Structure 1
Amino acid sequence: MENLRYVLAPYDPDFPIALGERFIENGNRDRSYLGGGSGYVLSRGALRVYGEVAYENETLCQKEPIGPEDVTLGVCMTSSGILLGDTRDQFGKHRFHQNIPRDYIEGKWQSWYPNVTLYGSGKGIESLSETSISFHNLKSDSDLYVLEYFIYILKLFNVEGRFTGPSVAPLPPDVDSAPEEARRRFIRRKRKIGTS
């Protein structure tokens, strides 16, 4: 939750934006959606547009699914003017993950994955963002307990703080996916705390 709050901080909750790992449908970069497995976040503004404009409008949102729920919702959101934002960190590393950490570290994921992720995906531990938010396909409760242990319980000897990044999340590489207000808010927050 902490990293999710960190990433959401620069965004106006009333701006219609959805965040998650961006995928493309059938190789078409113009038809992108957010992968449902790793989850996605809809702003209050996105929920308002979906509920008040899109849901009952069959020209924007088909009643019958056109595929899995994430594809159907993604097409509906983009047709309705909801922006699908870039959630990668300033180094281009993903924060929402369609696979478990080991799959990225070993570079062994489902064969379809590299073909649908909009921004590509690296291999190795260095491909994972220090501010990751979610992972899909954790198989059991014990997987979650292992993550909880490493995140919240394990203490490192002679290490003051484990996070040394900026106090305001930098904008993602695809700054066009961030609304103008988020860009202005980001600049104001950086000036307020005195960072460059």
Structure 2
Amino acid sequence: MPTSKSAGNGNTRKSTSDKMEHSKFHELFLEELEDIYWAEKNLVKALPKMQNAASSDDLRNCIADHLEQTKGHVTRLEQVFELLGKKARAKKCEAMEGLIAEAQELLGDTEEDTAVRDAGIIISSQKVEHYEIAAYGSLCTLANTMGHTDVAKILEQTLQEEKNADSLLTEIAESTVNEAALAE
């Protein structure tokens, strides 16, 4: 006897889930996860250079705190891949590679131990944060659209941390660094 969709058997739901996991939309989601995973892993390598180049204690501490958060972001992304039944895989993120290269160029173009360099570090850091905010915001939306609510919650936690880091960078710029840079 055939079972109707309204009977609520698990087969219909599993079938829909299987189709979704093989859809172009789901593939896009996975590719974006791989992209931000690469970005976060490479930020773990790049942030210590920015931290060491900063002269402001507030900025150095902000970057140090965000480095620890970024390590946590990598771990969370690995949890997301696991929840999706996928192996964590990084796909080169051209945008983040460019942002990191631009930040390194800034360090080479500015004098050490200056507020001007600190202002540049904040600008570079906020460019990174804005990219991450866009990426995690989009990933949250995609996860929710596909019904991956557990994944969306994990991604939302990271999104909030990225927004907080951006706000803190703005606060440091506005409270001390920009005025000191202007006076140099």
Same topology, TM > 0.5:
no
Normalised by the length of structure 2, the TM-score is: 0.31
Give the structure with the larger strand fraction: 1
Give the structure with the larger helix fraction: 2
Normalised by the length of structure 1, the TM-score is: 0.29
